[in-house]
């Protein structure tokens, strides 16, 4: 099985108002004192109301889930002791008039100088899945194959329906916000490693982006680790939903590698279709129809999910016990976006803030 790791980004919210609070440095220091956290496991992010964690390299989904719960609980306690709420909602549901300060690093300050309004509006958080690869050629093969599944993954993971106190009309507003960066969205098809390197290097050499770290495609080859990094999905309210999505990504990759070895490459999806299908997934989530790459069009979410499970069954192995039951629950109860909207209707602002906090730390 491919090794994997998961990165999660969180927001820090006022526990009463639900607005972002610029307490990342303080909460990070408090987290370093938590017995369950290793020093340095919590990283800074672009804005001072955001933090990021990353699991170690894992071989099975039990490891992934254990690390996510350990770090969510410890970071949640650190946030509470500093008067904050740790929030695994992928977009800040409520905001103050003043922007959240940018984290004081040279890189983030340059980003703010380059795109001030866009940077100020990055009150969004995602989850990234890293898959260990033996070589970059395998990475490009997976990049080309996994891109066709992006619309379904975006739809299932949608967890950012609210912004500035209103319903955006999108299940994943984060997808739309992040798509405004120069090199973002679904990646193109690549002929191989040389083609990938040539085209990404040209973006830097032509001074269209400052460095390769500003390649924000939904899938990319990591510049720091021997991994393919899938970064299309919203952070998940519940840790077991993050584990489920990580398991789907790994099983898809394993199936794609097996098919390639058997001489059955993944079918390509035209770029305009892929772009529109990702937008559709961000707009509607999995509440209605989703794009099914196996059939090449929109299908009922339940039918597309059933086709997905059948497609990855041979590759998922024991991971299926972490995938199928949680996916079934998401389809019955709604993903994070659906649950946020439902709680806001039923419990109001206070109920929504309480639900976000409880589900983030597994209460």
For every residue of 2-47, which 3-state class applies, written as one string?
CCEEEEEEEEEECCCCCCECCCHHHHHHHHHCCCCCCCCCEEECCE
3-state helix, strand, coil in the chain (%, to 5): 50, 15, 30
pLDDT for position 363: 58
pLDDT digits (tens, 9 = 90+) for 23-76: 999 999 999 888 999 888 999 999 999 999 999 999 999 999 999 999 999 999
Do strands 184-185 and 216-217 pair parallel, antiparallel, or not at all (unpaired)?
parallel
- CATH number of the domain that residue 25 is part of: 3.30.590.20
pLDDT for position 162: 98
Q: What is the pTM of this model?
A: 0.97
* Beta strand ranges found along 99-177 (DSSP E): 126-132, 162-163, 166-167
**What's the chain's Rg over C-alpha atoms?**
19
According to DSSP, the residues that pair with 216 across neighbouring strands are 184
The DSSP secondary-structure symbol of 223 reads S
Output the CA–CA distances (angstroms, integers) from residue 259 to 25, 26, 348, in the order listed. Answer: 46, 48, 49
pLDDT for position 96: 85
3-class secondary structure, 219 = strand
Containing structural domain, residue 345: 4-361
Which of 66, 48, 47 lies closest to 58 in space, CA to CA? Answer: 66
Contacts of 294 (CB under 8 A, 6+ apart): 307, 308, 311
Q: Report mean pLDDT in 10-residue bins for the chain, 363 residues.
A: 95 97 96 88 96 96 97 96 97 92 96 96 97 97 97 98 96 97 96 97 96 96 94 98 98 97 91 97 96 94 97 96 97 98 97 98 79
Task: State the total domains in the chain.
Answer: 1
Calpha distance 87→168 (Å, rounded): 19
Start-to-end C-alpha separation, the chain: 31
According to DSSP, the residues that pair with 299 across neighbouring strands are 290
* Beta strand ranges found along the chain (DSSP E): 4-13, 42-44, 50-54, 85-87, 126-132, 162-163, 166-167, 184-185, 216-217, 219-221, 227-234, 289-292, 297-300
pLDDT for position 268: 87
Q: How many Cα atoms sit within 13 Å of 68 on the Cβ side?
A: 32
Calpha distance 90→163 (Å, rounded): 10
pLDDT digits (tens, 9 = 90+) for 135-182: 999 999 999 999 999 999 999 999 999 999 999 999 999 999 999 999
The DSSP secondary-structure symbol of 160 reads B
What's the sign of the alpha-carbon dihedral 120, 23, 125, 286?
A: negative
């Amino acid at each position: 099985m491919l090794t994997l790791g998961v990165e999660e980004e969180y927001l820090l919210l006022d526990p009463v108002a639900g607005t972002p609070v610029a307490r990342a440095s303080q909460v990070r220091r408090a987290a370093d004192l938590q017995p369950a956290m290793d020093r340095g496991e919590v990283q800074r992010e672009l804005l001072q109301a955001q933090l990021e964690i990353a699991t170690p390299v894992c071989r099975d989904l039990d490891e992934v889930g254990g690390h996510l719960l350990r770090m969510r609980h410890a970071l949640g306690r650190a946030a509470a002791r500093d008067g904050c709420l740790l929030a695994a909602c992928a977009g800040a549901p409520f905001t103050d008039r003043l922007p959240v300060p940018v984290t004081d690093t040279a890189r983030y300050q340059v980003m703010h100088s380059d795109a001030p309004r866009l940077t100020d509006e990055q009150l969004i958080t995602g989850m990234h899945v890293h898959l260990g690869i033996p070589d970059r050629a395998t990475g490009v093969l997976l990049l080309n194959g996994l891109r066709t599944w992006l619309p379904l993954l975006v739809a299932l993971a949608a967890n950012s329906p609210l912004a500035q106190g209103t319903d955006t009309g999108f299940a994943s507003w984060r997808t739309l916000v992040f798509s405004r960066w120069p090199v973002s969205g679904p990646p193109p098809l690549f002929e191989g490693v040389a083609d990938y390197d040539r085209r990404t290097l040209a973006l830097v050499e032509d001074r269209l982006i400052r460095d390769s770290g500003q390649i924000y495609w939904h899938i990319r080859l990591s510049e720091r680790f021997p991994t393919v990094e899938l970064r299309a999905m919203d952070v998940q309210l519940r840790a077991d939903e993050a584990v489920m999505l990580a398991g789907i990504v790994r099983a898809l990759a394993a199936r794609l590698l097996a098919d390639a070895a058997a001489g059955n490459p993944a079918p390509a999806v035209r770029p305009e279709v892929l772009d529109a299908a990702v937008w559709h997934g961000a707009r509607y989530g999995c509440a209605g129809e989703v794009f099914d790459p196996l059939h090449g069009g929109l299908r009922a979410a339940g039918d597309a999910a059933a086709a997905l499970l059948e497609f990855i069954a041979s590759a998922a192995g024991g991971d299926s016990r972490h995938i199928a039951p949680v996916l079934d629950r998401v389809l019955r109860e709604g993903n994070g976006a659906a649950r946020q909207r439902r709680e806001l209707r039923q419990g109001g602002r206070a109920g929504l803030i309480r639900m976000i906090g409880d589900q983030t730390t597994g209460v």
